[in-house]
Amino acid sequence: MIKVSLTERDGVILRLSVSGHSGFSDGGSDIVCAGVTAAVRLLETTLNDVLLLGIPCTVDEKTADITFETAKLYELPSQASASGKAVIRGFLNLLSQLESEYPEFIKVLEVQHNA
């Protein structure tokens, strides 16, 4: 199962992680995995190559776990921050739709940490 985890504090998304494999189908024909991979690539390229926000993103080559350190968004000027937040919200909406369609293969989890 693919797990999408959000770490939030007081409504601020500090970290966004995507891990696991869907197991929907064999490699190369797994449409759930392909959809999530495409969404993650779009998120990273939009945040960092188009909007030039410099959001740290790490990929573990062995496990294919991907983590975005999104807390930086809250340190940016308001327009840049708003653009980045909108892109992330769109990404999460897409993954929530995939979760609704394929609940056995993808789970979006929100972890709240209050100060």
pLDDT digits (tens, 9 = 90+) for 39-48: 999 999 999 9
Q: What is the pLDDT of residue 65?
A: 93
Residue 77 DSSP symbol: -
Distance in angstroms (rounded) separating the CA atoms of residues 115 and 104 = 33
Residue 111 has pLDDT above 90, yes or no: no
- 3-state SS assignment for residue 58: strand
- DSSP string for 13-70: EEEEEEES---SSSTTS-HHHHHHHHHHHHHHHIIIIIS-----EEEETTTTEEEE-G
Residue 67 has pLDDT above 60, yes or no: yes
Distance in angstroms (rounded) separating the CA atoms of residues 113 and 43 = 24
- 3-state SS assignment for residue 12: strand
Mean pLDDT of the chain: 91
% of the chain with per-residue pLDDT over 70: 97
Residue 115 has pLDDT above 60, yes or no: no
pLDDT grade for 27, boundaries at 50, 70 and 90: confident
**And the tokens for 31?**
């449409």
- Find the angle CA(110)-CA(9)-CA(76) to the nearest 5 degrees: 110
Find the largest Cα–Cα distance for the chain: 44
Q: What is the pLDDT of residue 112?
A: 64
Residue 3 has pLDDT above 70, yes or no: yes
Q: What is the pLDDT of residue 83?
A: 94
Q: What is the pLDDT of residue 114?
A: 58
Rg over alpha carbons for the chain, rounded to the nearest Å, is 14
83-105 mean pLDDT: 95
